Structure 1
Amino acid sequence: MAACRTVERVIPLLTGIDRDHRLRSGLTGYLAAVSAAVDVGEESCTVDLDAPASAYIALDLRLPRHPGRDTALLWDERHGWAFAMETHSGEDLLVLGYLGGELVPAPAHVRGFVAAVRAGASGHPDPPDLRGSRFDLVERLGAHRRVIVNWRGRP
């Protein structure tokens, strides 16, 4: 008598919408922590969840060597954090250096990067390739996840 073999099919419970929600809640929580670490409010942050996911934090500081230009932190899921400066012509931001190392470093590490650039260090001149899978990114951001409530006040 032949043994009957059962074939199990695994159906993933996370849909694209669920992954986007986890990415948004993790990334917004992470940005809130980084913005607090660099002494700016969350109103200074923007997020774009398109691939590659990216973020912008407007800083309340100017560099001594460029006193008339605004500065910002940029983050994306390929290169991690970069320190940038506004141009006078309104074109794209001018990246002065990359933090490198980790895609989702501790907020205190990002604060140290900002302080180093302000003191005259430039960071890494070339964009590092830190990209991994979207799943890994969502997992890394999981520690910073915040509950996002819907318009009815429910999580």
Structure 2
Amino acid sequence: MIPLLTGIDRDHGLRRGLTGYLAAVSSAVGVGVESCTVDLDAPASAYVALDVRLLRHPDRDMALLWDERHGWAFAMETHSGEDLLVLAYLGGELVPAPPRVGRFVAGIRSAGAPDTAPVPPDLRDDRSELSARLLRYRRDVWSAGVPFLRRAG
């Protein structure tokens, strides 16, 4: 017996949904898809380079990070090339509407920086539920070349 839904099929569905979601989020935060990368290894994650500087850190680049455990985080690049420093988590839900992510970024930008230490929320869900949530954002990643797909390895 051969299962109808294989791991490849599930990854393809996750990829289509997540890349479509990132396209919508990148638009909501004022950048293009060329600013995004996706990693489908467990946990799935994404990176969105922002065109934002904070008053408290005018010489540092900012980014949004997303993963299937903690959802969205606002982060600051380091000068040393180490991991990014998470400044704030959006929380609430794993796949919030793109305008909510845009308001999250705008709020941090207008405040100059978050005032409290970030505490990562535990928002994880199983992959099939995550894929179902992302399904409404799906797009055909094999057409017109989506520049932000990558596979860690």
Q: Taking structure 1 as the reference length, what is the TM-score of the superposition? A: 0.86
Equivalent position to 1:45, from 36, 40, 65: 36
Q: Note the alpha carbon deviations across 1:10-53, whole angstroms, 9 max, x for none.
A: x7421111000000000000000000010101000000000000
Q: Which runs of 4+ in 1 moved over 3 A?
A: none
Output the amino acid matched with 2:120.
Answer: P
Separation in structure 2 between the aligned mates of residue 133 and residue 93 of structure 1, nearest angstrom: 26
Q: Which secondary structure state, in structure 2, belongs to the residue aligned with residue 126 of structure 1? A: coil
SS at match of 1:119: helix
For structure 1, which segment, 61-70 or 117-126, has the greater mean C-alpha deviation from structure 2 after superposition?
117-126
Following the alignment from structure 1 to structure 2, what is the Cα–Cα distance between the partners of residues 71 and 104?
21
Q: Following the alignment from structure 2 to structure 1, what is the Cα–Cα distance between the partners of residues 44 and 104?
A: 21
RMSD: 1.8
SS at match of 2:4: coil
Residue from 4, 18, 23 that aligns with 1:27: 18
Percent identity between matched residues is 73
Q: Does the C-alpha gap of structure 1 residues 150 and 40 become closer, same or farther in structure 2, counting only changes over 3 Å?
A: closer
SS in 1 for 2:47: strand
Q: Distance in 2 between matches of 1:88 and 1:53?
A: 25
Q: CA shift at 1:124, angstroms?
A: 7.2
Contact 2:19 2:141 in 1 (8 A): no
Deviates more, 1:53-62 or 1:124-133: 124-133
Give the conservation status (yes or no) of the 8 Å contact 1:34–1:107.
yes
Deviation at 1:147, TM superposition (A): 1.5
- Say which of 70, 86, 92 aligns to 1:101: 92
- Counterpart of 2:88 in 1: which secondary structure? strand
Asked which structure has the greater RCO (Cα within 8 Å, sep 6+), the reply is 2
**1 CA distance for matches of 2:64 and 2:45?**
11
Contact 1:29 1:145 in 2 (8 A): yes
Aligned length: 142
Aligned to 1:15: 6
TM-score (norm 2): 0.87
Q: Give unpaired runs (5+ residues) of structure 2.
A: 145-153
- Given candidates 136, 143, 149, the residue that maps to 1:143 is 136
Which among 102, 105, 122 is matched to residue 129 of structure 1? 122
Aligned to 1:82: 73
CA distance in 2, matches of 1:87, 1:34: 23
Cα separation, 2, equivalents of 1:74 and 1:104: 13
- Alignment match, 1:36: 27
